[in-house]
Amino acid sequence: MKKWLFILFCIPGLIYSQQVTQNIRGTVRDAESNQTLPGATIMLFSDTVFLTGTVTDDAGAFRIESVPVGRVNLVARFIGYKDYTIPDLVVTSGKEVILTIALEGSTQALNEVQITAYRKGEVINEMATVSVRSFTVEETDRYAGSRGDPARMASNFAGVQGADDSRNDLIIRGNSPIGVLWRLDDLDIPNPNHFAIAGTTGGPVSVINNKYLSNSDFFTGAFPAEYGNATAGVFDLRMRKGNDEQYEFSGQLGFLGTELFAEGPLRADKKSSFLVSYRYSTLQLFESFNIQIGTQAVPQYQDAAFKLHFPTKNGSISVFGIGGISNIDILVSDFESAEDLELYGDSDRDQYFGTSLAAGGVSYGHRLGSKAFGKLTLAYTWQDNHADHVLVNRDSSFAITSMVPNMGYFYRDQKVSLLYNLQYKFNARNSFKAGTNVERLFYHHLDSNLNLATNVFENRYNYRGGALLINSYLQWKHKFSDDFSIVSGLHGTWFTLNKNSKALEPRIGLSYRLDEAKSINAGAGLHSQLLPSYQYTFQRLDAEGQMERINEDVGLLRSVHSVAGYEQLLGSDMRIKLETYFQYLYDVPVEILPSAFSLANEGSGFARFFPGPLENTGTGKNYGVELTLEKYFSKQYFFLVTGSLFNSRYTGSDGVERPTNFNGTYAANILAGREFKVADRHSLSGSIKSTWAGGRLASPVDTAATIAARELIFIDSLTNTIRLKDYFRFDIRLAYKINAARVTHELAIDLVNVFNVQNILGLTYAPNPTDPSVSPVQEAYQLGFLPIFYYKIDF
């Protein structure tokens, strides 16, 4: 008996003392033709010390088993191709590491492998030359304040700012957030955020869950010809396929929601797989414990995603989709005193707001001989936005005297897409890419408001209709040598709703490596984009009393991008990068009657905009310089320092040149982190982020007109003449990870705005019925201190 008790007592210790390992496997393919590469060499290093290696089989697949958990550097090599390095590859016990590695062809034979530089951040799109950065799933978690959100993570990059702490809209080089394109698995998708306002590209909470993403690209200007309908930036996101050999699961409980995630083989012998995720908001739970969530109204949301992958003889078939619904009720009628009012929403009305999103499709990728690869996708997207506002009238004692419907709208945009992309590699020096995307758009827009003259709640317009949007492109890449390449292309856009929305846009990019450590790059081209859909469908009465769509014939907003950059590696794990740019905007929609309005100023925040009749006569310009100093994660720490100086200006129909709403003039970020090994399988990581930015611009308010309209009315001639105080925020992130046998636990907390700095968001209309002497125009502040935590388990 004593012997058995001794054995039982020792078993846990014996199990714990065993080394915990995991598998690394994947495939290697040609980046330009997408063909698999049998015989490629895969090597693992700890810093520069070789650990183990293997070669890919006849299908281009590789497997390395029993890799100790922790971090390794992976190098892929194949004769006739450039080496590809994945530094700081995280190996955990809870999930296999599954990689798809794309090698770029070389114009000359390669020498022996030498780990001289990591070259992290090499982009996924082989046609990209400038103003592009790839990012990993781990970076969206590792960076303090990112909250697992690709957009918030990208705000750390040079030239990129967040527009509002409560939202993830991105201001890229002074451009409106309207100009950002979101793409998922080649499909252009609607705004992928909960509580998304019609016509915007951001929101408070992302629908996209980083757990199902693979490495992706983010562009900040002069992007290649395959991207259209964007003038500011592009998120080119990719969903990974599920594990095709074993079942894996994840669960997460945190401030932003409860998440469940599963993946595994559908039929292991066929290498087919599935991946599915689901998240439900838990803010209501935390609010019940009196934990401050940033607003007195409790947002509710849920989202889901899936991907099914079926290999075929010459390619694969994938079925994918994402979706989410959200709603929030901001009820000032429930407040019992003026002191309870918050400035998160208008304080004189109840607001009911909700959104829903669905995007998905089926794609067939197929090899065409040994040099070409094609991909056909049929997809569908759907986005709803709806809101209702009810005015709450009170007397001087704060008692409610009446509640009157003030505004309501329902917008539904649907799209059926058929797209085909073709890659062809002629030889080691020349490759070609072409594609077309045909979209059938369907609009249903209903808008109602209170007529102040008649005090009647009436429909402003009710539109049902649609149009075709066709985007096509051609791209050619020529390598003069391994050090010098040029990418040229042409993008075409045709929007059939009117005759003024057609464009042919030439683009060019070049990259020249001066030596092993230094390189220069440049890019230029024409870019254009549509207006938010409700701008085309908005109707009002004409002089004869007939409903008229006043902006149906407005053309594209157009711009010219030009960028030049220099990059130098500083040792094996650090780089410095300098980019300068000039962007000229023309055909910008402005009002026909002289005013300061310009589409270049719109697209952030929680409000739609309804200008008068528009014409394409406005202009604008953005220019600046950006600096990045980055140390990749090695030796257990990393840092990223970025800074930008810029100027963003526009001219409205009144002929006056002014700074745009987004002209902060400067922005700087310092981000740093370190990982500590606490025990054999335990690690503690921490990161900090500090952000400085120029103050927002504001306009003087016409107080009398504001009180009459019960909403802010600005003095048009004085637009953007007030500079609010500069922005500062400091965030901290801490995470503790345990790698047990086949299970990984992680507990993390993000401390957002640690010093509770009261950064000014802007002005808001907030009348105080108990004290009419108080100005109804008040400053609204961004989020204060906000702790965000989660517990995650992978097994």
Inter-residue contact 385 to 355 (CB < 8 Å) = yes
Burial (0-12, 13-18, 19+ Cβ within 10 Å), 199: buried
Q: What is the pLDDT of residues 310-338, one digit of tens each?
A: 999 999 999 999 999 999 998 888 887 77
Long-range contacts of 348-351 (CB under 8 A, 24+ apart): 348/391, 348/392, 348/710, 348/765, 348/766, 348/767, 349/389, 349/390, 349/391, 349/392, 349/406, 350/389, 350/390, 350/392, 350/403, 351/387, 351/388, 351/389
Of 242-256, 286-300, 509-523, 663-677, the poorest mean pLDDT is in: 286-300
What is the rounded end-to-end Cα distance, in angstroms, of the chain? Answer: 35
Are 354 and 501 in the same domain? Answer: yes
Q: Which residue has the tokens 């040149």?
A: 657
pLDDT over 50 at 188, yes or no? yes
CATH number of the domain bearing residue 742 = 2.40.170.20
Alpha-helix runs per DSSP H in 429-517: none
- Across the range 201-215, mean pLDDT stands at 93
264 in the same domain as 393: yes
**CA-wise closest residue to 359 among 226, 187, 203, 240:** 187
Lateral strand order in the sheet of 61-68: 61-68, 21-30, 97-103
pLDDT of 413 > 60? The answer is yes
Q: Would residue 174 count as lying in a domain?
A: no
pLDDT of res. 124: 82
Instruction: Please tell me which residue, 358 or 340, carries the higher pLDDT value.
Output: 358
Helix (H), strand (E) at residue 283 = helix 283-288
How many structural domains does the chain have? Answer: 2
Does residue 142 lie within any of the structural domains?
A: no
- Whether the CB-CB separation of 150 and 136 falls below 8 Å is answered with no
Domain boundary among 79, 94, 115: 115
**Predicted pLDDT at 342:** 60
Question: 193-197, 232-236, 371-375, 398-402: lowest mean pLDDT where?
Answer: 398-402
The band of 415, judged by pLDDT with boundaries at 50, 70 and 90, is: very high
Residue with tokens 């303090």: 144
Q: In this structure, what are the phi and psi dihedrals at residue 194, rounded to the nearest 5 degrees?
A: -70, 150
Q: Residue 213 carries which DSSP code?
A: B
Mean pLDDT of the chain: 90
- Per-residue pLDDT at 409 exceeds 70: yes
Residue 155, pLDDT score: 94
Whether 6 shows a pLDDT value over 50: the answer reads no
Q: Which amino acid is at 443?
A: Y
* Cα–Cα dist 223/234, whole Å: 8
What pLDDT is recorded for position 595?
96
Decide: 763 and 696 in contact? Cβ < 8 Å: no
DSSP state for residue 639 in the 8-state scheme: E
Question: Cα 328 to chain center, whole Å?
Answer: 23
Spatial CB neighbours of 409, under 8 Å, sequence gap ≥ 6: 385, 386, 387, 445, 446, 447, 448, 608
Q: What percent of the chain has pLDDT over 90?
A: 67
Is 4 inside any structural domain?
no
Residue spans of alpha helices (H) in 133-262: 137-142, 150-154
Q: Tell me, yes or no, if the pTM score tops 0.85.
A: yes
Q: Are strands 233-237 and 248-254 parallel, antiparallel or unpaired?
A: unpaired
* Mean pLDDT calculated for residue range 576-587: 98
The rounded distance, in Å, linking the Cα atoms of 398 and 301 is 32
| H-run or E-run covering 284 | helix 283-288
Do 495 and 501 form a contact (C-beta atoms < 8 A)? yes
On the question of pLDDT at 86 being above 80, the answer is yes
In a domain, 529, yes or no: yes
What average pLDDT does range 273-285 have in this prediction?
90
Q: Is residue 769 part of a domain?
A: yes
| 278-289 mean pLDDT | 78
Q: What CA–CA distance (Å, rounded) separates 235 from 149?
A: 12
Q: What is the pLDDT of residues 456-511, one digit of tens each?
A: 788 888 999 999 999 999 999 999 999 999 999 999 999 999 999 999 999 999 99
Pair (244, 97) in one structural domain: no
Q: Give whichever of 170-184, 283-297, 673-687 has the largest mean pLDDT.
A: 170-184
Residue whose C-alpha is closest to residue 88's, from 72, 99, 75: 72
Q: What is the rounded average pLDDT of the residues 104-131?
A: 66
What does the pLDDT average to over 116-144? 78
Q: Which pLDDT does position 139 carry in this prediction?
A: 84
Sign of CA dihedral 295, 300, 301, 302: positive
pLDDT at 11 over 50: no
Q: Rounded distance, CA 612 to CA 603, Å?
A: 17
Task: Name the β-bridge partners of 439.
Answer: 417, 469
- Token duo for residue 371: 């040099």
CATH code at position 27: 2.60.40.1120
Range(s) of the domain holding residue 85: 19-115
d(CA 476, CA 708): 59
pLDDT-based confidence at residue 16 (cuts at 50, 70, 90)? very low
Is residue 179 in some structural domain?
A: no
Amino acid identity at 228: G
Q: How does 238-254 read in b/e, with b if 16+ C-beta sit within 10 Å?
A: bbbbbbbeeebebebeb
Q: Given phi > 0 = left and psi -120 to 50 = alpha, else beta, which region is 655?
A: left
Cα–Cα dist 522/130, whole Å: 6
Q: What is the pLDDT of residue 294?
A: 54
Give the mean pLDDT of 364-372.
93
pLDDT at 543 over 80: no
pLDDT over 70 percentage in the chain: 94
The residue-averaged pLDDT of 286-299 equals: 66
Instruction: Pick the last residue of a domain from 63, 95, 115.
Output: 115
Whether 126 and 31 have beta carbons less than 8 Å apart is answered as yes
Higher pLDDT, residue 494 or 111: 494
The pLDDT score that the predictor gives to residue 2 is 43
The 8-class DSSP code of residue 339 comes to G
What integer pLDDT is reported at residue 296 of this predicted model? 67
Answer whether residue 116 shows pLDDT above 60.
Answer: no
- Phi first, then psi: give them for residue 726, nearest 5 degrees: -65, 160
Residues 21-48: what's their mean pLDDT? 91
Q: Among the three residues 115, 137, 170, which one is the final residue of a domain in this structure?
A: 115
List Cβ<8 Å contacts ≥24 apart for 512-518.
Answer: 512/483, 512/484, 513/482, 513/483, 513/484, 514/483, 516/116, 516/117, 516/569, 517/117, 517/568, 517/569, 517/570, 518/566, 518/567, 518/568, 518/569
Residue 501 inside a domain? The answer is: yes
Q: Residue 622 corresponds to which amino acid?
A: N
Dihedral Cα 110, 113, 114, 119, nearest 10 deg: 80
100 and 245 belong to one structural domain: no
Q: Read off the pLDDT band of 774 (50, 70, 90).
A: confident
pLDDT the model gives residue 145: 87
